[in-house]
Structure 1
Amino acid sequence: MNLHDYSGHPFQAQLSRDLAARGHHVLHGYCAQYVTGRGLLERTSDDPRTLAFAPTSAGEPLVKYSPVGRTRFELSYARAWQRALEGEHFDVVVACNVPLFALARMRRYFARRRQPWVLWHQDVYSLGVAAEARRRLPGPVAGVIASAVQRAEQAQVRAADSVVAIGDGFLEQYRRWGVPTGHVRVIPNWAPVDHLVPGERENAWSVRNGLPVEPVRLLYAGTLGRKHNPLLLLELLDAVRARGVDAVLTVVSEGVGADDLAVAARGRADVRLMGYQPAADLPDVLASADAVIALLEPDAAQFSVPSKVHSYLSAGRPIVALVPAGNPAARDVAGAGGCVATPDVAGAHEAASWIAEVTRDPAGLQVLGKRARALAEEQFDIARIGAEFDAVLHDAVRIAEHAREPVLALASAGGIRL
């Protein structure tokens, strides 16, 4: 099988390892040009020999926020992925986090090749594209684009032999689209609890990077893109300090949001921005914090679940989530005793009051951290999750074979040529 996770995130790599251990031959693909926090994307001595990792590169540069440049990149990326698939037979392909236009081309490729495939649906990209079009373009033009991209994404959900959606909100969207859901299974995202284990606040990474010992350490680790407002991090830090708490903020990220934040925080000694850290260092990065922060803008409420929340839970750290109340991550943060507030100035001040209260009691912080870890251990059982995906893969192959039976029968009768 080919599990292609465009982003190269940690829990998708963990799933590939689990599926390989179950007897699948797994080629795990990812985009070499996409800059983000990576999982462990190379085979180790502990991995089955049936597991391999393969980066994919487009022939065009990744221009993330240029409509023309981004489209050229995505189509080129699809061609590169196709070349990789043509060198080997795969019983099933899993497409995860693949951008909308790249996957539109791959959908047609899968149909031509009669390739069984699974859509692991992490975000309803067409809604984000439509929102961006409305921000940039006149109403009638934006409306045409919104309709076109939603039709493309609907077609992907319909065409996949099986769909894994990460939340119930996806099912509701499919029904609004009029797309049948009999081939859809909901499997929420998770984090690799065997790798992201709670650690000591003072550790090799914190010492190597000179993190101050005395202040309260706030940490944001992950993507800062269009679905985030990075300036809320400064609003939160200032509000915490205004409440008499000596606090510092570390941001581990790269890209346009991190660049904007760097400009806004220039000259501040209480803010440190760092690039993405190696996957092996992530447990120490998260352990170095007294509280960790997640952000998400309102228009991403139902569909975009910040994967960093799952990492924070696994690391056993108190969480502040400035996210819409309807987002599934809000439920997990609240269940772990963390703070959920709206992603705006008022929410940042509410969260600051919470931080000022809980950081007065180091023992209380430890209790919150243990609650977070316990929730992660309960929900992120890779043996159970791997078994669910294993069933999805077999369903996809069975559904694809069943769909081909009428075609084969017609061919045997001389109706068409295969």
Structure 2
Amino acid sequence: MESTIRDINLATKGQLKIDWVKAHMPVLNTLREEFERTLPFKGKKVTICLHLEAKTAYLAKVVQAGGAEVTVVASNPLSTQDDVVAALVAGGVHAHAWYGATDEEYHQHLHKALDFGPDYIIDDGGDLVSTIHKERRELIGKVQGGAEETTTGILRLRAMEKNGELAFPMIAVNDAEMKYLFDNRYGTGQSVWDGIMRTTNLVVAGKTVCVVGYGWCGKGVAMRAKGLGARVIICEVNPIKANEAWMDGFEVMPMVEAAPLGDFFVTVTGNKDVITGEHFQVMKDGAILSNAGHFDVEVNKVQLRAMAQSCREVRNNIEEYLLQDGRRIYLLAEGRLVNLAAGDGHPAEVMDMTFALQALALHYLATAKDSLESKVYSVPLEIDKRVAELKLRTLGLKIDLLSEEQENYLANWQHS
């Protein structure tokens, strides 16, 4: 099977990136050694749809080490690193992706990756699952299951399950504690500001940051903004999360009230149209908009273009929209994931835990597939705990263990 990539000659440069993250992903290294011995995916085909940068590449190599034939495809056209993709192809992994793919090319790549006829999938945002169910139904029955990376994807999967439309089991990796407590919070918090700061080269301290959405990703973005010296405003629709944001020390208000105050805006909701024309109307000159949700629909770009008298790229990954009254609004990375489209994504040590969950979720599917229905499953607790234990071990950390007497005390309600 041929690959669809930009330039195989970039492989050497890409391999250096993969080698770097490999040195900082000890949990995956442990699993790779195990998979090389046990070959849990021998004879199986796996299609991985994730952001194609070095950490994802190493996950693909770990799955390949378990005996699988692997194909990768991008989950976002602006997060693909062509040199990393080339290195994967040079190492025997099939790939269909390049940086800056058009919408037509992006969907062609998805279909080519599915032409592979996968037994298992790893998805991001539900792109593979959606394509299979809408356009490639001949694969239903061939695909035995998969794992989903993101909040956005899990929302789509649960809607499919509720409607009785999900045709194979999917594991909600994003809902694992070793995922959202670290990847969503610390990973997103650091990588979003890395992307914003390297793109704008502007100071954050003393500025007002408006974070739209206070889920685990929003908590991480807000926490890092506060640490950088910003005033932080939270916009929420969930009253429980709004109370949490207030108790965490942040201001809370509707977006229409926050819009005139913000210097930086970061959307992390997984929903559409959270920043729209009514907000652009009252934003200050020089406001900077960015998104850290999966799809580029959180900032309404159509309305922003319609309101602007001109648009130009003033710096790589920064579009300037000049409004009729002379105000300028800046949009980073076309409103796509700013931490990946304008940065390198989450730190390797964080993704080490997430991708270990992905690898073990696939292993679970391969061993338990006959007993699983076409539903959305949580990551088994033993997998979550195993990744936690492996991570502590690689850090050289030890924790206390319960004695038999303590375990009995906790298990017996009659003790006082």
With the shorter chain as reference, the TM-score category is: 0.3 to 0.5
